[in-house]
Amino acid sequence: MTGTAAPPARQDQDIPQAVTDLRAAFDSGLTRPAAWRRRQLHALRRLLVEHASDVEEALYDDLRKGRTESHVTEIGGVLAEVEHALRHLDRWMRPRRVAVPLNLKPATARIHPEPLGVCLVIAPWNYPLALTLNPLVGVLAAGNAAVVKPSELAPATSRLLAELLPRRLEAVAVVEGAVEETTLLLAQRFDHVFYTGNGTVGRIVAAAAARNLTPVTLELGGKSPVFVDETADMAVTARRLAWGKFTNAGQTCVAPDYVLVTRAARDPLLAALPRAVQEMFGTDPRTSADYGRIVNDRHFRRLTGLTAEGELVIGGVSDAADRYIAPTVLTDVPTGAPVMTEEIFGPILPVLTVGGVDEAVDFVNARDKPLSLYAFTRDKAARQALLERTSSGGLVFDAAMIHLGAPNLPFGGVGESGTGAYHGRSSFDTFSHRKSVLSKPTRPDTLRLIYAPHSSRSFSFIARAVSRTHPLLGRRR
């Protein structure tokens, strides 16, 4: 298989054989050279540029995504990851020298990044292009072969990826399908499994990978809170919240899930949010070319059920035939209501009132660690409290979602919101093994002092050396 592309793995193909073929390609050394990695990244960039209109059409079919949103949140994001990887690949691949202790000298030590092997990327439906290809950029940059499993809930994008990726890339196979195909994939031996989705399936993926001691990256989700106080610029806050929440009809893992607003800021925020929604999507968002739809009927029914409790500020309108749910803001929601206990993953934004940042911190800390935490405040003490007293995958001040566009920031969760991180250098590191390499000359043979047999003189020398290197050990009697 050296120098040739892996055949596309589909529902009617032998998945174990596809993985075997990819492993043969990796073992042949095909994927290791920097030139191969660069060739794949350039091919991926050309694919996106040349087939941008096909991608736009697929995303519209799957999620009614508008053209601009498709470029901002999907195509453009992947292109930025590719460009960043190409710009920094040589430095990432370069072994890094590290110091050696005096008692081991003369010697040299370095950390040598090497590819893991064959990686599996299981992608979600909400950003079916970006969340499939962004991890793949890291897989290829690190010199690995890959199996890509797009989501069956975004069938148009899945079909397009299955058609294009194996034609343009070497040592990459695409498996389409649902639970049966994913289960069969997880039964194979991979060198890394990268999964984006919900915690329930994440546990299944982790358990399956554990059978082969395969490391995993789990990009999950959770309820990403927002804190707003009276020091915030309320018009800007409302616009950035509306964009972050209602982009992709709220079907974003890092979308603001609920707002904790101080009493002094509550009324100004609730007045500004409807204006911001109208500025972006018009008086009837159903007619906006920039407002998406819910992915399927099951999610539509789940979301409409979440508006049963609380007072409507705006929205609440839905159309099952069109899978349309208007941008919706709720207030006075009981904390035990389903909309406050389940990840919303849709265009519904509950707003709760708190006494201040201390109450907000306690509220966040009483729940699972979120994937993202957003804060709109100019109060330095409030910012410091959120930074030091809460734990989240990411913390963003005075904006929402945009941290995904910073390739030098690792993106990932903590606790229930995930494990591991990617984007930029973090993607390269995720799909690489950092091999420790030490080289010591044979002349002079300074290790003779530790060879047996040991005399009292050699013991004294070694004990003194150890006490200098490890002072705590030297104090023991």
Enzyme catalytic residues: 219, 253
Distance of CA 318 to the CA centre of its chain: 30
* Rounded distance between C-alpha atoms, residue 220 and residue 385, angstroms: 25
Q: Which two tokens stand for residue 154?
A: 């975004």
With vertex at residue 174, the alpha carbon angle to CA 169 and CA 175, rounded to the nearest 5 degrees, is 170
* Number of helical H runs and strand E runs in the chain: 18, 18
Beta bridge partners, 122, equal: 149, 195
Q: Do residues 218 and 418 touch, judged by C-beta distance below 8 A? A: yes
* Rounded distance between C-alpha atoms, residue 18 and residue 24, angstroms: 10
Cα–Cα separations (whole angstroms), residue 425 to 194, 216, 467: 16, 17, 38
* Rounded distance between C-alpha atoms, residue 403 and residue 396, angstroms: 7
The H-or-E segment that residue 217 falls in is strand 216-219
* Rounded distance between C-alpha atoms, residue 394 and residue 414, angstroms: 9
Q: Which two tokens stand for residue 408?
A: 């030098």
